[in-house]
Amino acid sequence: MTALFTPDFGNAEVLTSQASYRPATQDGMPLIGAMPGIAGAYVATGYSVWGMLNEPATGKAMAELILDGAASSIDISAFNPERLLVLDRGSIST
């Protein structure tokens, strides 16, 4: 099927295959919020297989965060991207 879109790939060797790739974090919880150290940058990712179910609420929370400076419809503090910096520091010191 790839050859239909990119003929050069038609005869390419398949090295590996997987049904899909799902972004997931080290702790299994999504990242939702402002990116630490990057003004004006926000992220909403890492849901693994649950993105489709959670994205409507995430979209609303992200819109509130970006427009108002805080999410008011749902508490997103547990999903703060900054928490992974703490995990990284912990793995470095052990």
Taking 50 as the threshold, does the pLDDT of residue 94 lie above it? no
The model's pTM is 0.66
Instruction: Give me the pLDDT at residue 18, please.
Output: 66
SS (HEC) of the chain: CHHHHCHHHCCCCCCCCCCCCCCECCCCCCEEEECCCCCCCEEEECEHHHHHHHHHHHHHHHHHHHHHCCCCCCCCHHHCCCHHHHHHHHHHHC
Instruction: Give me the pLDDT at residue 86, please.
Output: 65
Instruction: Give me the pLDDT at residue 92, please.
Output: 44
- Distance (Å, whole) CA 49 – CA 47: 6
The closest alpha carbon to 64, from 33, 41, 40, 38, belongs to 33
Instruction: Give me the pLDDT at residue 84, please.
Output: 84
- Work out the pLDDT band at 12, boundaries 50, 70, 90: confident
Instruction: Give me the pLDDT at residue 88, please.
Output: 56
* pLDDT tens per residue across span 14-72: 777 766 677 788 888 999 999 988 899 999 998 877 777 788 999 999 999 999 999 99
